[in-house]
Amino acid sequence: MKRFITVAGNIGAGKSSLVRRLSHRLRWQPFYEPESNNPYLADFYQDMSAWGFHSQVYFLAHRLRVYRELSDCPDSVILDRSLYEDAEIFARNLYQRGFIQRRDHETYEALYLSLLSFLPTPDLVVYLRASVDTLAERIRQRARDYERAIDMDYLAQLNQAYEEWVSNFSVCPVLIVPADNLDFVSQPRHMDLILTKVQEKLSGKDEVVFLPDEFSGG
């Protein structure tokens, strides 16, 4: 049976790294977010009011193409960030902060709701929860030029939006992973635990939320 997982989380949370490792372990097809291909992104971080709407429409258009590809894929798939996050976290946060005007947001929201009516629903959302300090350090380590202008207050706003979103999300089960307290890149037992929890969730077992003390030690 074909399954569909999406990995959610703020900028720098480790989504792409987890998608890569989960797809390898499960032998599923990964689909990644093309951040570096967004022609508006560098301008957006310099001036969110001028480029917020343009950047979000670009991501929406790309996300539609990706959903078409994963729908046509015969194998189980893992998606790096979902359409839900684009609209219900990033675009909504920009609108609430005054960086996207009302009429532009209403146009965007209408497109988003239309897409929801025919796009596939994930079987599981894996949410990487990370503090602003962790996000900032990981953003610094990957050294993308266009991310140097990211403000820490912006990351904090997105974190708050993610917490509100995940607490009200009911489309499918959610697995919460505390990204501050694990290193699934270099600690095999952490990756093993994530994989086990993912498989438990997909098998229909009760919701499991990772606790920080599960990752104490090396």
Active site residues: 80
Tokens of 34: 């093309």
Q: What pairing do the DSSP bridges indicate for beta strands 77-80 and 4-9?
A: parallel
Strand pairing partners for 80?
A: 7
- Please identify which residue in the block is written with the tokens 């509100």: 164
DSSP states along 138-204: HHHHHT-GGGTT--HHHHHHHHHHHHHHHHH--SS-EEEEEGGG--TTT-HHHHHHHHHHHHHHHTT
Q: How far apart are CA 50 and CA 25, in angstroms?
A: 42
- Residues 104, 53 contacting (CB under 8 angstroms): yes
